[in-house]
């Protein structure tokens, strides 16, 4: 029982523990990844390129940052890897729908539409 108490105390007093923003910010950031996972059920035509590019870029940038700080914040790294992964998957769904779906007309640049 003492081992559990000492581990809990070490977690509580850790520099990235629950007494700091370094714990709570990534913990709440998991909500973005969970929402993006829930959006997997949405039709691909409703997926936003700018939003998913931002989610992916944020995930990649902050994953790298999480490995460069001392102490390494594994919660921050994990949530950002999840964000990058869900963003890449959503972009894959959108590109597949927009450019490789035989049921929808191919996306044409605006100049091509005017000439037609």
pLDDT digits (tens, 9 = 90+) for 5-25: 888 888 888 887 888 888 899
Instruction: Quote the pTM value.
Output: 0.77
Select from 114, 53, 39 the least CA-distant residue to 84: 53
* Separation between Cα atoms, residue 112 and residue 93, nearest integer Å: 25
Tokens standing for 103? 């049921």
Listed in sequence order, the DSSP H helices in 14-73 are 21-38, 49-68
Output the pLDDT for position 109. 57
Select from 86, 71, 1, 95 the least CA-distant residue to 36: 86
pLDDT digits (tens, 9 = 90+) for 30-49: 999 999 999 999 999 999 99
81 or 100, higher pLDDT: 81
**Residue 2 reports pLDDT greater than 90:** no
Q: For residue 33, what are the contacts with CB-CB under 8 A and spacing of at least 6?
A: 79, 82, 83, 86
């Amino acid at each position: 029982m003492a081992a559990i108490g000492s581990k809990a105390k070490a977690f509580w007093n850790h520099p990235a523990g629950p007494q700091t923003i370094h714990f709570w910010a990534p913990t709440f950031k998991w909500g973005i990844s969970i929402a993006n996972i829930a959006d997997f059920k949405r039709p691909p035509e409703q997926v936003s390129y700018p939003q998913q590019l931002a989610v992916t870029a944020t995930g990649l940038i902050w994953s790298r940052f999480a490995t460069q700080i001392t102490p390494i914040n594994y919660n921050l790294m994990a949530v950002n890897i999840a964000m990058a992964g869900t963003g890449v998957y959503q972009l894959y769904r959108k590109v597949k729908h927009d450019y490789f779906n035989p049921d929808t007309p191919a996306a044409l640049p605006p100049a091509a539409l005017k000439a037609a």
